[in-house]
Structures are given as structure tokens and as C-alpha cells.
Amino acid sequence: MGSGKSVRRRFWLVAVVLLGLLAGPGWAAQEGQIQHDSGLPVQVVANQLQVDDVRGLFVFSGQVQARQDQATIYADKLTVFYQQQGSKRQIERVLAEGAVRIVQLDRVAYGERAEFFVAEARIELGGAPRVVQGENEVAGETIRLYLNERRSQVEGGSQQRVRALFVPEHGDAS
């Protein structure tokens, strides 16, 4: 009956990695705005979970939802890649594929692929990616979010140029 305990332990490893994804684009809170608490529980719901210790993979598939506090990742498939280091697993990256949507309050990132590189604290969105906050929107061929540096990079390419829409805040006219 130790397998239930092992699956729970694996779940929490995955949950820790998902916290990084949920910190997403511009998600790193600015002063005076909503703060992200990585100590909160993460719930992952999917049609299936496969664990492959030989290849170092957790694969959630089928209508995947990973939720923590006010942030949620939706995808067709979520793959966690890890290296075994002694008795511990070191998460290297997390890949969300298929109709990816990362939502936190009024901020939403869309794409066909989102990849979180743990060591670099970097998220890379691809497959017609765009990030929307309120009426503002940015899109390109690739969007990179550097979480520790609180900066982003949007690249155009042969398929799509960088496109941005910035709507000024409407203040009182008085």
C-alpha cells in the first residue's frame, strides 16, 4: 500500500513546479498589487496521470487544470521533466501543450505551448502566443517571461510580427 504514499509525494513535487508556472507573465506582483503565495496548495485535475520514473516524467493529460489560489493553468497535456538525484527528484522543466491558457485575475496568457525552465525561472510561450491584461494585449511568435528579473521579451518571426495594443487608463475628466 506504499504506492498511494508515493503518488501523493510525486503529486507534491509536481505541485511545487506548477507554482512557478502560476507566477507567469507579469504575474510577479508589483508593489501594492496582488501577491502570489507559493505556500498555498495546488490542485491538479486531469483525465489521466502517467508516471515514468525511467524517463523522468509525469504526464497529466486530458482537460488538465492546475489551480493555486487565484491562478489556473488549462491545457490538453502537462508534462513534468525531472532528474533523479539520489533519493530526490530535481524538476528541470514543465511543458503545457494544446490550448494552453494561464489565468490570474484579469491577466490571461494564451498559446499552444508554454514551457517553464526551472533553473532559469523562465517561461516560454509559443504557438500563436498572446498575453492580455484588461484591454491591453501583446502577441508575437514567441513570448519569453523572465520571472526573477520581472521582464519579458516578445519576438516576431516569419509567421507573425510583434503586435501590441496599449489602452490608456481612463481617469476622471474633471
Reported pTM: 0.74
pLDDT at res. 30: 37
Residues 104, 71 contacting (CB under 8 angstroms): yes
Task: Say which DSSP state 128 is in.
Answer: S
Listed as own residue / partner, the contacts of 170-174 with beta carbons closer than 8 Å and 24 or more positions apart are none
pLDDT at 86: 86
Distance in angstroms (rounded) separating the CA atoms of residues 56 and 14? 12
- Spans of all domains in the chain: 2-165
Q: What is the pLDDT of residue 170?
A: 76
The pLDDT profile of the chain, 174 residues, written as one tens digit per residue, is 444 444 444 444 444 344 444 444 343 333 333 344 555 677 889 999 999 989 999 999 999 998 878 888 999 999 989 898 888 888 889 899 999 999 988 889 999 999 988 888 888 999 999 999 999 999 999 999 887 888 889 999 998 899 999 999 876 555
**DSSP code per residue over 56-89:** TEEEEEEEEEEEETTEEEEEEEEEEEEEEETTEE
Task: Give residue 4's pLDDT.
Answer: 47
2-165: CATH topology is lipopolysaccharide transport protein A fold (2.60.450)
pLDDT value, residue 173 = 55
Q: Which pLDDT score is estimated for 171?
A: 67
Contacts of 10 (CB under 8 A, 6+ apart): 51, 58
Tell me the per-residue pLDDT of 43-79, one tens digit each, with 9 for 90 and over: 889 999 999 989 999 999 999 998 878 888 999 999 9
Residue 26, pLDDT score: 40
- Quote the CA–CA distance of 91 and 56 in Å, as a whole number: 9
Distance CA 3, CA 98 (A): 30
